[in-house]
Amino acid sequence: MDERFLHDENRRRFIKTASFFALAFPASILTNRFCRAQGDQRQPVSQGVVGGGCDGCEGIYEGLPQILTWQTSIATASEPGEPLEISGIIFHSDGVTPAPGVILYVYHTDANGYYSPAPNATGNARRHGHLRGWMKTGTRGEYKFTTIKPAPYPKGKIPAHIHPIVKEPDKNEYYIDEYRFDDDPLLSAQERSKSENRGGSGIIHLMKTEEGIWRGKRNIILGLNIPNYK
Protein backbone atom coordinates (compact mmCIF):
# COMPACT_ATOMS: atom_id res chain seq x y z
CA MET A 1 0.00 0.00 0.00
CA ASP A 2 1.25 3.56 -0.79
CA GLU A 3 2.87 5.24 2.22
CA ARG A 4 0.47 8.15 2.08
CA PHE A 5 -2.33 5.77 3.04
CA LEU A 6 -0.50 4.44 6.07
CA HIS A 7 -0.15 7.64 8.05
CA ASP A 8 -3.55 7.14 9.64
CA GLU A 9 -2.73 3.75 11.11
CA ASN A 10 0.68 5.00 12.13
CA ARG A 11 -0.99 7.80 14.05
CA ARG A 12 -2.74 5.30 16.32
CA ARG A 13 0.54 3.54 16.99
CA PHE A 14 2.23 6.84 17.68
CA ILE A 15 -0.29 7.86 20.31
CA LYS A 16 0.09 4.54 22.15
CA THR A 17 3.80 5.31 22.55
CA ALA A 18 3.45 9.07 23.01
CA SER A 19 4.87 9.03 26.50
CA PHE A 20 8.17 7.81 25.06
CA PHE A 21 8.33 10.36 22.28
CA ALA A 22 7.18 13.34 24.34
CA LEU A 23 10.74 14.20 25.39
CA ALA A 24 12.14 14.17 21.85
CA PHE A 25 9.15 15.07 19.72
CA PRO A 26 9.80 17.03 16.49
CA ALA A 27 9.85 20.80 16.77
CA SER A 28 7.09 21.03 14.19
CA ILE A 29 4.69 19.73 16.82
CA LEU A 30 6.08 21.90 19.62
CA THR A 31 4.69 25.10 18.10
CA ASN A 32 3.40 28.12 19.94
CA ARG A 33 0.13 26.29 20.45
CA PHE A 34 1.92 23.96 22.87
CA CYS A 35 3.96 26.57 24.71
CA ARG A 36 3.51 29.15 27.46
CA ALA A 37 5.12 32.55 27.19
CA GLN A 38 7.42 33.44 30.08
CA GLY A 39 9.12 36.76 29.39
CA ASP A 40 11.39 36.31 26.39
CA GLN A 41 11.45 32.55 26.83
CA ARG A 42 8.93 29.92 25.75
CA GLN A 43 8.55 26.78 27.78
CA PRO A 44 7.48 23.66 25.88
CA VAL A 45 4.59 21.81 27.47
CA SER A 46 4.59 18.72 25.24
CA GLN A 47 4.23 16.40 28.20
CA GLY A 48 0.98 18.13 29.08
CA VAL A 49 -0.36 18.33 25.53
CA VAL A 50 -4.03 17.46 25.46
CA GLY A 51 -4.43 14.22 23.56
CA GLY A 52 -0.80 13.21 24.13
CA GLY A 53 0.39 14.46 20.76
CA CYS A 54 -0.87 13.90 17.23
CA ASP A 55 0.91 13.22 13.96
CA GLY A 56 -0.60 15.59 11.40
CA CYS A 57 -3.14 17.31 13.63
CA GLU A 58 -1.51 20.66 12.90
CA GLY A 59 -3.06 20.31 9.45
CA ILE A 60 -6.18 21.86 10.96
CA TYR A 61 -4.48 25.26 10.56
CA GLU A 62 -3.47 24.80 6.92
CA GLY A 63 -6.14 26.55 4.90
CA LEU A 64 -8.28 27.29 7.97
CA PRO A 65 -10.99 29.75 6.84
CA GLN A 66 -11.21 33.06 8.70
CA ILE A 67 -14.96 32.68 9.13
CA LEU A 68 -16.50 29.40 10.23
CA THR A 69 -20.10 28.36 10.79
CA TRP A 70 -21.63 25.25 12.35
CA GLN A 71 -22.04 23.56 8.97
CA THR A 72 -19.97 23.10 5.83
CA SER A 73 -20.09 21.48 2.41
CA ILE A 74 -16.88 19.62 1.61
CA ALA A 75 -17.58 18.00 -1.76
CA THR A 76 -18.76 19.88 -4.81
CA ALA A 77 -21.72 18.71 -6.88
CA SER A 78 -19.30 17.29 -9.46
CA GLU A 79 -17.37 15.16 -6.95
CA PRO A 80 -17.70 11.44 -7.83
CA GLY A 81 -19.28 9.33 -5.12
CA GLU A 82 -22.42 8.91 -3.06
CA PRO A 83 -23.61 12.00 -1.16
CA LEU A 84 -23.15 11.84 2.62
CA GLU A 85 -24.42 14.06 5.42
CA ILE A 86 -23.28 13.76 9.03
CA SER A 87 -24.51 15.88 11.92
CA GLY A 88 -24.45 15.88 15.69
CA ILE A 89 -23.84 17.81 18.88
CA ILE A 90 -20.56 18.37 20.67
CA PHE A 91 -20.93 18.30 24.45
CA HIS A 92 -18.70 19.41 27.28
CA SER A 93 -17.07 16.68 29.37
CA ASP A 94 -20.26 16.20 31.41
CA GLY A 95 -21.88 14.74 28.30
CA VAL A 96 -24.92 16.99 28.78
CA THR A 97 -23.97 20.63 28.26
CA PRO A 98 -23.60 21.69 24.60
CA ALA A 99 -20.18 23.15 23.75
CA PRO A 100 -20.28 26.20 21.46
CA GLY A 101 -17.27 27.63 19.67
CA VAL A 102 -15.49 24.30 19.13
CA ILE A 103 -13.75 23.81 15.79
CA LEU A 104 -14.19 20.41 14.16
CA TYR A 105 -11.91 19.62 11.22
CA VAL A 106 -12.51 16.51 9.10
CA TYR A 107 -10.83 14.95 6.08
CA HIS A 108 -11.14 11.69 4.15
CA THR A 109 -10.41 9.72 1.00
CA ASP A 110 -12.20 10.15 -2.29
CA ALA A 111 -14.50 7.63 -3.99
CA ASN A 112 -11.45 5.61 -5.09
CA GLY A 113 -9.84 5.44 -1.65
CA TYR A 114 -7.16 8.07 -2.27
CA TYR A 115 -6.31 11.25 -0.41
CA SER A 116 -6.21 13.03 -3.74
CA PRO A 117 -4.75 16.51 -3.13
CA ALA A 118 -6.06 19.82 -4.33
CA PRO A 119 -3.93 21.61 -6.95
CA ASN A 120 -0.80 23.21 -5.49
CA ALA A 121 -1.49 21.77 -2.04
CA THR A 122 1.53 21.24 0.22
CA GLY A 123 2.29 19.83 3.64
CA ASN A 124 -0.55 18.30 5.60
CA ALA A 125 -3.06 19.90 3.27
CA ARG A 126 -1.65 17.61 0.58
CA ARG A 127 -1.52 14.56 2.85
CA HIS A 128 -5.12 15.05 3.91
CA GLY A 129 -6.41 15.39 0.36
CA HIS A 130 -8.89 17.81 -1.14
CA LEU A 131 -11.89 16.45 0.76
CA ARG A 132 -11.44 18.40 3.98
CA GLY A 133 -13.46 20.96 5.84
CA TRP A 134 -14.02 22.92 9.04
CA MET A 135 -16.97 23.73 11.28
CA LYS A 136 -17.39 25.76 14.46
CA THR A 137 -20.17 24.61 16.73
CA GLY A 138 -23.11 26.93 17.27
CA THR A 139 -24.76 27.96 20.53
CA ARG A 140 -26.36 24.52 20.85
CA GLY A 141 -23.12 22.69 20.11
CA GLU A 142 -24.44 21.60 16.73
CA TYR A 143 -22.38 20.74 13.66
CA LYS A 144 -23.07 19.30 10.22
CA PHE A 145 -21.05 18.50 7.12
CA THR A 146 -21.96 17.22 3.69
CA THR A 147 -19.51 15.38 1.47
CA ILE A 148 -19.30 12.03 -0.33
CA LYS A 149 -19.02 8.63 1.27
CA PRO A 150 -15.29 7.82 1.48
CA ALA A 151 -13.91 4.60 0.07
CA PRO A 152 -11.48 2.29 1.90
CA TYR A 153 -7.86 2.30 0.81
CA PRO A 154 -7.27 0.39 -2.44
CA LYS A 155 -6.62 -3.32 -1.82
CA GLY A 156 -6.50 -2.56 1.89
CA LYS A 157 -8.13 -4.06 4.94
CA ILE A 158 -8.79 -0.84 6.80
CA PRO A 159 -12.48 0.21 6.85
CA ALA A 160 -13.59 3.42 5.20
CA HIS A 161 -13.34 6.32 7.61
CA ILE A 162 -13.35 10.07 8.15
CA HIS A 163 -10.66 11.68 10.32
CA PRO A 164 -11.83 14.26 12.88
CA ILE A 165 -9.67 16.73 14.76
CA VAL A 166 -11.04 18.93 17.54
CA LYS A 167 -9.85 22.38 18.63
CA GLU A 168 -11.40 23.80 21.77
CA PRO A 169 -10.95 27.53 22.49
CA ASP A 170 -8.61 26.98 25.44
CA LYS A 171 -6.80 23.79 24.40
CA ASN A 172 -4.51 22.51 21.67
CA GLU A 173 -5.91 20.45 18.81
CA TYR A 174 -6.31 16.70 19.27
CA TYR A 175 -7.83 13.79 17.38
CA ILE A 176 -10.86 11.75 18.34
CA ASP A 177 -12.05 8.38 17.04
CA GLU A 178 -12.58 8.23 13.30
CA TYR A 179 -16.05 8.19 11.82
CA ARG A 180 -16.66 4.64 10.61
CA PHE A 181 -19.78 2.93 9.32
CA ASP A 182 -21.43 0.00 11.08
CA ASP A 183 -22.38 -1.76 7.83
CA ASP A 184 -18.84 -1.70 6.42
CA PRO A 185 -17.78 -5.31 5.68
CA LEU A 186 -14.21 -4.36 6.61
CA LEU A 187 -15.30 -3.29 10.08
CA SER A 188 -14.57 -6.64 11.68
CA ALA A 189 -14.63 -7.47 15.37
CA GLN A 190 -10.86 -7.06 15.35
CA GLU A 191 -11.12 -3.60 13.83
CA ARG A 192 -13.82 -2.62 16.32
CA SER A 193 -11.54 -3.67 19.16
CA LYS A 194 -8.97 -1.10 18.03
CA SER A 195 -11.32 1.76 18.87
CA GLU A 196 -10.00 4.09 21.55
CA ASN A 197 -13.43 5.63 22.18
CA ARG A 198 -11.89 9.09 22.16
CA GLY A 199 -14.75 11.53 22.30
CA GLY A 200 -17.13 8.59 22.24
CA SER A 201 -17.69 5.90 19.66
CA GLY A 202 -17.12 6.96 16.07
CA ILE A 203 -19.03 4.02 14.61
CA ILE A 204 -22.23 5.39 13.13
CA HIS A 205 -25.29 3.98 11.42
CA LEU A 206 -26.15 5.39 8.00
CA MET A 207 -29.56 5.51 6.42
CA LYS A 208 -30.17 6.32 2.76
CA THR A 209 -32.88 8.83 1.91
CA GLU A 210 -35.17 8.65 -1.08
CA GLU A 211 -32.95 11.27 -2.69
CA GLY A 212 -29.98 8.91 -2.43
CA ILE A 213 -28.20 10.75 0.39
CA TRP A 214 -26.55 8.76 3.16
CA ARG A 215 -27.26 10.35 6.55
CA GLY A 216 -25.79 9.64 9.96
CA LYS A 217 -25.45 11.22 13.39
CA ARG A 218 -22.63 11.31 15.88
CA ASN A 219 -22.46 13.20 19.14
CA ILE A 220 -19.06 13.99 20.63
CA ILE A 221 -18.09 14.35 24.30
CA LEU A 222 -15.08 16.57 24.82
CA GLY A 223 -12.33 15.08 26.92
CA LEU A 224 -13.73 11.55 26.97
CA ASN A 225 -10.73 9.17 26.99
CA ILE A 226 -8.44 12.02 25.95
CA PRO A 227 -4.99 11.94 27.66
CA ASN A 228 -3.95 15.00 29.68
CA TYR A 229 -7.43 16.50 29.48
CA LYS A 230 -8.17 19.02 32.23
Does pLDDT of 199 surpass 70? yes
Q: What is the distance between the alpha carbons of residues 180 and 150, in angstroms, rounded to a whole number? A: 10
Q: What is the distance between the alpha carbons of residues 103 and 21, in angstroms, rounded to a whole number? A: 27
Q: Is residue 19 part of a domain?
A: no
175: domain CATH number is 2.60.130.10
Q: Is residue 51 part of a domain?
A: no
pLDDT at 155: 87
Does pLDDT of 193 surpass 70? yes
Q: Is residue 39 part of a domain?
A: no
Q: Is residue 21 part of a domain?
A: no
SS3 at position 32: helix
What value does the mean pLDDT of the chain take?
Answer: 85
Cα-based distances in Å from 1 to 4, 92, 105, 154, 161: 8, 38, 26, 8, 17
Domain that holds residue 93: 56-221
**Percent of the chain whose predicted confidence (pLDDT) is above 70:** 80
Number of domains in the chain: 1
Sequence letter at residue 107: Y
Confirm if 202 and 159 have CB atoms less than 8 A apart: no
Q: What is the pLDDT of residues 128-165, one digit of tens each?
A: 999 999 999 999 999 999 999 999 999 888 999 999 99
More confident residue, 71 or 15: 71
Q: What is the distance between the alpha carbons of residues 214 and 205, in angstroms, rounded to a whole number? A: 10
Least confident of 20-24, 83-87, 173-177, 191-195: 20-24
Q: Is residue 139 part of a domain?
A: yes
Q: What is the pLDDT of residues 41-73, one digit of tens each?
A: 333 335 589 999 999 999 999 999 999 999 999
pLDDT at 18: 37
Q: What is the pLDDT of residues 22-43, one digit of tens each?
A: 323 333 333 333 332 223 333 3
DSSP label of 6: T
More confident residue, 155 or 173: 173
Q: Is residue 124 part of a domain?
A: yes
What average pLDDT does this structure show over 78-89?
98
Q: What is the pLDDT of residues 99-114, one digit of tens each?
A: 999 999 999 999 999 9
Does pLDDT of 177 surpass 80? yes
Q: Is residue 50 part of a domain?
A: no
Q: Is residue 46 part of a domain?
A: no
pLDDT at 156: 82
Q: What is the distance between the alpha carbons of residues 111 and 4, in angstroms, rounded to a whole number? A: 16
SS3 at position 141: coil
